[in-house]
Structure 1
Amino acid sequence: MKFLQSLENVVTPANGIAATVGVFLTPIFQYLYGTGRFDILIVLFLMISLDWITGISAAKKDHTYSSDYGLSRIPRSLFLFALPAVANLLDRVMGTPGFLFYGVTFGLLYHTWNSLTANAHRAGWPVPKSVVNLVGSEIKAKTERAARKEQI
């Protein structure tokens, strides 16, 4: 009887809705991105999230933040999440399992790492000097872009 009472907390409408959504979305997710790729996509999601956080902090520090600019980053982020799906579908068409998917995904990870590291440096967060040297050109480009925005 105690076991059945504990199920009252599990069998709820919210859990039922979540399970139903999961049943329909999981095959779509696997079709778009392939199976066994959840970890690398989580890394990509986290890095894009960190890029947003560091970018907002850097823009607020140099007084170039605007909600219009922030909102324009949403389509960019959706585009970044769509590229690995397109690469996976091309892999399936061409019969190259994972070649394009991993190439595109690691390219995006590298690009996003450069961006978030440069943003963190611009925000004044502690970034090792050796890492700053690696992303120096990205820091310069972001600093120049912020200076142009200030003049407008």
Structure 2
Amino acid sequence: MKFLQSLEHVVTPANGMAVTAGVFLTPIFQYLYGTGRLDILFVLFFMIALDWVTGISAAKKDKSYTAEYGLSRIPRSLFLLALPAVANMLDRVIGTPGFLFYGVTFGLLYHTWNSLTANAHRAGWPMPKSVEKLVSAEIKAKTERAKRKES
């Protein structure tokens, strides 16, 4: 009897909705991205979120932020999250298990890492000189683009 009483806190409408959403979304997610790839996709999602945070901070610091620019980042982010799905589907079509998926995903991780690191530098956040040197071209490009928006 005590066991059944403890279930009243587990079996709630909110938990039921979460389970239902998971039942429908998990197969779609696995179809689009493949199985066993949640970790790398979480890293990509997290890095895109960090790119947003650092980009907003940098743009506010150099006064180049506009609502239009911020809104244009939404389709770009959705595009970045869709590319690994397209690569996974191409892998299935041509029979290369994960070759294109991991190539595209790691390319996006590298690109996003460059962007968020350059944004952090522009925002004035501390970072090792060796990291600054690695992304110096991206820092220069972002700084020049911000200066063009000011004028």
With the shorter chain as reference, the TM-score category is over 0.9
Unaligned runs of 5+ in 2: none
- What is the rounded CA distance, in whole Å, between the counterparts of 2:122 and 2:2 in structure 1? 57
The Cα shift of 1:65 comes to: 1.1
Name the aligned partner's letter for residue 28 of structure 2: I
In structure 2, the partner of 1:134 is: 134
- What is the rounded CA distance, in whole Å, between the counterparts of 2:136 and 2:83 in structure 1? 26
| % same residue | 84
1:111 equivalent in alignment to 2:111: yes
Listed as ranges, the matches of 1:3-152 within 5 Å are: 3-151=3-151
**TM-score (norm. length: structure 1):** 0.98
Unaligned runs of 5+ in 1: none
The Cα shift of 1:9 comes to: 1.1
CA offsets 1:70-127 (integer angstroms, 9 cap, x no match): 1110000000000000000000000000000000000000000000000000000011
Name the aligned partner's letter for residue 87 of structure 1: A
- What is the rounded CA distance, in whole Å, between the counterparts of 1:10 and 1:58 in structure 2? 44
The Cα shift of 1:2 comes to: 2.4
Name the aligned partner's letter for residue 98 of structure 1: G
- What is the rounded CA distance, in whole Å, between the counterparts of 2:122 and 2:5 in structure 1? 54
Name the aligned partner's letter for residue 133 of structure 2: N
Q: How many residues align?
A: 151
Name the aligned partner's letter for residue 102 of structure 1: Y
Deviating beyond 4 angstroms after TM superposition, the runs of 4 or more aligned structure 1 residues are none
